[in-house]
Amino acid sequence: AENQKQGKDLAVIGGDGIGPEVVAEGLKVLQAVAPDTFSLTEYDLGAERWKRTGEVLPDSVLDELSGADGILFGAVGAAPGDKSMPSGILERGLILKIRFAFDHYVNLRPSRLFPGIASPLSDAVVGGKEIDFVVVREGTEGLYVGNGGVVRADTPAEIATEVSVNTAYGVERVVRDAFARAARRRGKITLVHKHNVLVNAGRLWNRVFESVAAEYPDVTTDYLHVDAAMIFLATDPARFDVIVTDNLFGDIVTDLAGAVTGGIGLAASGNINPSGAYPSMFEPVHGSAPDIAGKGVADPTATILSVGLLLDHLGMAEQAARVEKAVLADISRRTPGESRSTSAIGDAIASAV
């Protein structure tokens, strides 16, 4: 049915803080590269809505979202010091709820040091090297399942647990996706885990990784404990092609990966359900940055690159490539210390696609 449809339905969740600002630029670029293709429905979700109405993500909205062809997501979250909002409400009630409800088991996070972008790593580490890898983060299991609980809350005898749930079903599908990507890229894949301590989950990840590896004799495999992965990301990020890892390690690895490749102002991501049974969701890795919200200084590039991932996911590879090319060209013209406004960057990229 979807292929017969003329246009595509895009659900848009700007969110809080800089979210709506960067999403506006993403949409600008989307309209420029694919005019009259998307019909947009905006959803008012996030900290502000919760404060006004006490609602995070009503079932009816989740239901509507499920009918979309894709979701563009900005960022949610109140200011860090804002104690009126219990921690985790938005994360677990909105962003993780969508990832789990729509079975976004591939959380795809490309990391690339674009020419002309300054890395916090020294020239000895990154100079003359091509740093271009992608993290395939599992998105529906691990410590993110929300299992665990509290006994004797708020007493000196309190016990709080968190349970990481890992299944062969869940691990295999994401490991397969990662191997397929490695085969299409430079043919190298690194499993990141901590199987010397997390022996139950680690054994499962290892076993599945090795069995899928046997089907890909041309893909070189590697394994790193998550702590060792930190060291290599800081001292030799060029060694990576595809990293596959669990939900929490993926969260940690991708923020560091974003930092070393020039900052999470550039880090795009896709929460993907490869089967197409549910809409996939595309979002910048950065958060809502309340401290700079409303000032027009947020960098919309990560959101614009996320639009590129969205287009690619929807089979519009040509348009996706145009977005990426325009971003690359824009980045190559940036000078250190320049400060273009959010909309100036969006305008420039939109007019270049």
Ligand X SMILES: CC(C)[C@H](C(=O)O)[C@@H](O)C(=O)O
Q: Which residues form the interface with ligand X (CB under 6 A)?
A: 91, 95-96, 196-197, 227, 251, 285
Closest CA to 174 of 123, 235, 241, 246: 246
Q: Please give the residues from 193 up to 222 whose contact with a second copy meets the rule CB under 8 A.
A: 194-204, 206-207
What phi and psi values does residue 175 have, to the nearest 5 degrees?
Answer: -65, -40
Residue 22 binds which entry of a second copy, ligand X, none, CB below 5-8 Å type-dependent: none
Q: Determine which residue in the list 234, 292, 297, 321 makes contact with a second copy, applying CB under 8 A.
A: 234
Q: Which amino acid is at 74?
A: G
44 binds a second copy (CB under 8 A): no
Minimum distance between the CB of residue 325 and a second copy, rounded to whole angstroms? 28
Count of CB atoms situated within 10 Å of the CB of 277: 9
Centroid of chain to Cα 214: 28
Question: Based on CB atoms, which residue is closest to a second copy, 253 or 323?
Answer: 253
Could you say which of 43, 194, 299, 312 is catalytic? 194
CA distance 113 to 130: 7
Is 194 noted as a catalytic residue in this protein? yes
Q: Has 255 been annotated as catalytic?
A: yes
* Inter-CA distances, 155 with 160, 161, 245, Å: 11, 15, 36
Instruction: Enumerate residues 136-195 that contact a second copy by CB under 8 A.
Output: 143-144, 146, 148-150, 154-169, 172, 194-195
From ligand X, a second copy, none, which one binds at residue 132 (CB under 5 to 8 Å depending on kind)? none
How many C-beta neighbours within 10 Å does residue 293 have?
18
Mention every residue, 6+ apart, whose C-beta is less than 8 A from residue 88: none
The answer to whether residues 120 and 259 touch, using CB atoms and an 8 Å cutoff, is yes
Binding piece for a second copy, criterion CB under 8 A, among 25-33, 129-137, 253-261, 312-320:
253-261
Residue 251 is among the residues annotated as catalytic for this protein: yes
Residue 51 binds a second copy, judged by CB under 8 A: no
